[in-house]
Structure 1
Amino acid sequence: MKTTTPAFRGNKQALPSKPCAVCGRPMSWRRKWARCWEEVRYCSDACRRRVARP
């Protein structure tokens, strides 16, 4: 009987990342953000709400 391990799907360290505009936490690229990666600025809804609006 052969035991199998899940296939390695890629090097996650090679994905682009950028800091959150509010807290500075690094955000890694997600497939969901593929079309709008340039527009993503916040790591969470909480940071989005914390932004001071003029």
Structure 2
Amino acid sequence: MKKADLPQKICLVCNHPFTWRKKWEKNWSEVKYCSKRCASNRHSLKHKS
């Protein structure tokens, strides 16, 4: 499978697109952040009302 054919999401913290990875195979629907760095900075995410 080519990388271009893999599913993508947008990171909730940095707003950059990231692609599916083998390590996320079982929980892809729950993945929200592109990296551990963004996951640790999720508290800086500002919620819009």
The structure with the largest helix share of the pair is: 2
Structure 2 counterpart of 1:15: 6
Q: Distance in 2 between the 1:24 and 1:36 partners?
A: 20
Gaps of 5+ in 1: 1-9
Gaps of 5+ in 2: 45-49
TM-score (norm 1): 0.70
Structure 2 counterpart of 1:44: 35
Identity level (%): 43
Q: CA deviation at 1:43?
A: 0.9
**Cα-Cα RMSD:** 1.4
Aligned length: 44
